[in-house]
């Protein structure tokens, strides 16, 4: 027996024991080899894979993440060129390049930023002779506000066919992507079914004439289905999973077709891009239908109650010209639309505002700036200060002037977890508490529980998280009569397991002042509780009422019991929950959550609690 031996050599990257990371602001000098601060300190930039790039931007003011070695040696990790992302009140249309290390100096376009501004997606052109393709890349913003080195997204979002991110939903946990996913498998299956049915016809037909007639109809149906497959809208939806992304599924848009074809290849469909409202229920897209005004027109499609997008309606001659309108981007306010056009005043980016609640009435488009000529991709986070764009294969940011900014919104940043603190992947929905209309949904990150939703001003919103085998958790925010400036709100939604002893405070529950009459805005919340009761027929619960300490104790006890009874009666009357499954109690001011020393604390103490007594997933 012979034994082979090999010498394994490990290559270690040496990092000094006492090296620390620090953010330093200063000017690059000496061909990008030194960083000089305004205090007069000079740092020597050690050689790194950023050295060549820093030489190109020598003389610029930068903010840099350094690994400090010794006294004044800086190993560059990341940087950004002034003006900085957090700067405000800048000269309108101030442009700044996104550092090349982010997109690896590759031909990049179609930047798409998540509404929270924390993840940037873009498309990279991959040249391979006559077989060029496009790949999705992304970068995340680190805790210091620097973009990390970009990475190519893995399968299934990238495959052999060209692909691109069309829209990133709030939170970045759902993507709408352009591409071809599963079409070849579908075509192969259709071909196989055709052959199988042909063999069945051969066996079942009484004579050749009967076979030919039936087979002709079979081939006609096959060609119709193939044509539908070829003309299917090239838009797919994918959601974040534990270790990556789900297989993209085609959006439900059965009537879509596109007559626009490439001049070089008449068989190649040319799709002009699309954008979605922050709820994901309104789709604006660029295509050619039979009623087109020009070569590529913008259309709007509103998802119906069955979650189907109908064929879009032409947005009219105010928007569309005889040329090409494409690359639409709908801002987070769901009212401000940006798009590229080579009509109007030539190839540039234009902006228009929706009038009222009608998706077909828009103000005349205005060219946003002469500086934007040659730009045809545009994306803006919910904060609305900077736009991300591409030009000549490079990525940039530009500071938006007030006159073309979208309307301010509220960005709700939340986390979903169970009652033990573990993150949960759950569906988060938001609705109008005034009209009881569901507005949109999103999902939370399965690894962190993080999510975001965008809420325009002017509505009383409820939002809630739900997951099978858990009680739903709820919150609300009234944006009807408040200061309409951009804000970020942090929330936490805790979903208890449906188990004996678990309880939730019914958050979106509203009563008339000093009464037990339930307001109409409470109905969506109570309907969800009714659904939980009906899906778990063995469930028995205690409904507890609590008040603050304002008024007499005996009055508060009576009011708290009356409010608990009102909730129970709603479930009995509207959801046919039998009364023996519902117990009620009123505790008045006896069990406060917090001291009754402020209006906010008193509001917290006025509550109704839903507590499981029997029938959960564990016995008492």
CATH number of the domain residue 610 falls in: 3.30.1330.60
Q: List 388's β-bridge partners, or say none.
A: 379, 397
Residue that finishes a domain, picked among 459, 480, 497: 497
Q: Are residues 329 and 214 in the same domain?
A: no
Lowest mean pLDDT among 180-189, 283-292, 297-306, 314-323: 180-189
Q: Does some domain include residue 478?
A: yes
- Number of folded domains that form the chain: 5
Q: Which domain holds residue 188?
A: 184-231
Read off the pLDDT band of 200 (50, 70, 90): confident
4 found inside a domain: no
Q: Are residues 173 and 272 both part of a single domain? A: yes
Q: Are strands 427-432 and 460-466 parallel, antiparallel or unpaired?
A: antiparallel
pLDDT-derived band at 231, boundaries 50, 70, 90: low
Q: Tell me the backbone φ, ψ of residue 562, rounded to 5 degrees.
A: -65, -40
pLDDT computed for residue 10 by the predictor: 38
- Examine the fold and report which residue of 349, 376, 404 is the final residue of a domain before the chain moves on: 404
Tell me the per-residue pLDDT of 123-156, one tens digit each, with 9 for 90 and over.
999 987 777 889 999 999 999 999 999 999 999 9
* Residue with the larger pLDDT of the pair 508 and 355: 355
Strands 582-586 and 540-546: parallel
Among 162-176, 215-229, 251-265, top mean pLDDT goes to 162-176
Same domain, 159 and 290: yes
pLDDT of residue 232 exceeding 80: no
pLDDT tens-digit map of 540-549? 999 999 999 9
419/545 same-domain check:
no
pLDDT for the residue numbered 15 = 47
- Which CATH number covers residue 355? 2.115.10.20
590 lies in the same domain as 445: no
Partner residues linked to 199 by β-bridges: none
Mean local confidence (pLDDT), 371-391: 84
For residue 389, give Cα distances in angstroms to 85, 121, 122, 373, 454.
15, 11, 10, 12, 22
pLDDT band at residue 320 using 50, 70 and 90 as cut-offs: very high
Structure confidence at residue 103 as a pLDDT band (50, 70, 90) = very high
Phi then psi dihedrals of residue 204, to 5 deg: -90, -20
Inside any domain, residue 387? yes
Residues 537 and 615 in one domain: yes
Write out the two tokens for 602.
Answer: 């008193």
pLDDT of the residue at 305: 87
Task: Report pLDDT for 424.
Answer: 94
CATH number at residue 56: 2.40.50.500
Q: Where are the extended beta strands (E) located within 405-449?
A: 409-418, 427-432, 438-443
Note whether residue 283 is domain-resident.
yes
CA distances from 280 to 89, 453, 477, 581 (A): 32, 11, 20, 38
For 441-474, write each residue's pLDDT tens digit.
899 999 999 999 999 998 999 899 999 889 888 8
Round to whole Å and give the CA distance between 514 and 556. 9
8 — pLDDT class (breaks 50, 70, 90): very low
CA dist list (Å): 535 to 287, 438, 471, 530, 605: 44, 21, 11, 9, 30
What are the pLDDT digits (tens) for 75-86?
Answer: 999 999 999 988
Q: In terms of domains, do 384 and 412 share one?
A: no
Judgement on whether residues 458 and 532 belong to the same structural domain of the protein: no
Residues contacting residue 339 through CB under 8 Å, at least 6 positions apart: 286, 298, 319, 325, 326, 327, 328, 329, 349, 350, 352, 365
Q: pLDDT tier at 303 (50, 70, 90 boundaries)?
A: very high
**Among 577, 497, 493, 593, residue whose Cα is nearest residue 543:** 577
pLDDT tens column, 238-283: 999 888 999 999 899 988 988 888 777 776 678 888 999 988 899 9
Rounded Cα–Cα distance for residues 274 and 272 (Å): 7
Q: Is the pLDDT reported for residue 570 higher than 70?
A: yes
Residue with the bigger pLDDT between 105 and 8: it is: 105
- 262 and 374: one domain? yes
61 & 121 share domain = no
Domain boundary among 497, 520, 540: 497
Tell me: do 252 and 398 sit in the same domain: yes
CB 574 within 8 A of CB 527: yes
423 and 492 in a single domain? The answer is yes
- SS3 per-residue string spanning 380-398: CCCCCCEEEEEECCEEEEE
517 occurs within a structural domain: yes
Residue 13 lies in a domain: no
Q: Name the pLDDT band for 343 (thresholds 50, 70, 90).
A: confident
Predicted local distance difference test score (pLDDT) of residue 221: 82
* Residue 451, in any domain of the structure: yes
In a domain, 5, yes or no: no
Burial of 46 (0-12, 13-18, 19+ CB in 10 A): middle
């Amino acid at each position: 027996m012979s034994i082979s031996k090999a010498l394994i050599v490990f290559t270690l990257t040496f990092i000094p024991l006492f090296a620390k990371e620090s953010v330093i602001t200063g000017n690059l000098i000496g061909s990008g080899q030194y960083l000089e601060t305004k205090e007069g300190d000079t740092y020597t930039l050690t050689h790194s894979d950023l050295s060549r790039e820093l030489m190109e931007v020598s003389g610029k003011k930068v903010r840099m993440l350094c690994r400090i070695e010794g006294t004044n040696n800086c190993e560059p990790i990341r940087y950004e060129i002034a003006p900085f992302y957090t700067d405000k009140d800048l000269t309108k249309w101030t442009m700044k390049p996104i550092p090349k290390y982010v997109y690896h100096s590759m031909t990049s376009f179609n930047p798409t930023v998540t509404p929270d501004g924390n993840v940037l997606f873009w498309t990279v052109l991959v040249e391979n002779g006559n077989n060029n393709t496009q790949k999705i890349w992304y970068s995340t913003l680190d805790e210091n506000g620097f973009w990390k080195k970009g990475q190519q997204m893995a399968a299934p979002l990238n495959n052999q066919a060209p692909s691109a991110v069309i829209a990133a939903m709030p939170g970045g946990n759902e993507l709408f992507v352009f591409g071809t996913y599963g079409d070849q498998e579908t075509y192969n299956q259709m071909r196989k079914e055709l052959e199988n049915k042909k063999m069945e016809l051969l066996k079942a037909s009484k004579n050749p004439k009967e076979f030919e007639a039936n087979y002709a109809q079979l081939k006609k149906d096959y060609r119709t289905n193939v044509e539908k497959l070829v003309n299917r809208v090239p838009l797919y939806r994918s959601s974040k999973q534990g270790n990556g992304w789900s297989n993209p599924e085609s959006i439900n848009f059965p009537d879509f077709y596109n007559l626009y074809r490439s001049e070089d290849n008449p068989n190649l469909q040319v799709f002009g891009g699309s954008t979605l409202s922050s709820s994901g229920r309104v789709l604006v897209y660029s295509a050619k239908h039979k009623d087109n005004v020009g070569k590529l027109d913008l259309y709007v499609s509103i998802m119906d109650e069955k979650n189907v997008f109908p064929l879009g309606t032409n947005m009219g001659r105010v928007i569309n010209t005889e040329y090409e309108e494409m690359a639409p981007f709908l801002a987070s306010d769901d009212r401000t639309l940006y798009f590229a056009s080579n009509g109007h005043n030539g190839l540039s980016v234009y902006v228009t505002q929706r009038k009222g609640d009608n998706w077909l009435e828009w103000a005349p488009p205005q060219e946003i700036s002469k500086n934007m000529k040659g730009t045809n991709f545009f994306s803006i986070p919910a904060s609305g200060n900077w736009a991300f764009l591409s030009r000549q294969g490079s990525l940039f940011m530009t500071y938006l002037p007030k006159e073309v900014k979208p309307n301010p919104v509220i960005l709700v940043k939340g986390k979903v977890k169970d009652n033990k603190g573990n993150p949960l992947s759950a569906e988060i929905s938001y609705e109008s508490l005034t009209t009881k209309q569901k507005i949109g949904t999103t999902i939370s990150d399965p690894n962190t529980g993080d999510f975001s939703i965008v809420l325009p001003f002017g509505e009383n919103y409820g939002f809630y998280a739900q997951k099978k085998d858990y009680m739903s958790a709820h919150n609300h925010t009234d944006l009807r009569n408040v200061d309409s400036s951009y804000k970020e709100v942090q929330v936490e939604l805790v979903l208890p397991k449906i188990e004996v002893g678990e309880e939730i405070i019914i958050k979106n529950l509203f009563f008339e002042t000093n009464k037990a009459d339930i307001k109409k805005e409470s109905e969506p919340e109570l309907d969800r509780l009714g659904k939980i009761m009906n899906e778990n027929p063995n469930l028995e619960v205690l409904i507890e009422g609590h008040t603050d300490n304002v008024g007499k104790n005996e009055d508060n006890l009576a009011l708290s019991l009356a409010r608990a009874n009102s909730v129970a009666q709603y479930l009995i009357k509207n959801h046919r929950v039998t009364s023996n499954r519902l117990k009620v109690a009123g505790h008045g001011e006896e069990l406060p959550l917090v001291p009754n020393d402020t209006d906010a604390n008193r509001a917290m103490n006025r509550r109704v609690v839903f507590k499981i007594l029997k029938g959960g997933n564990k016995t008492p």
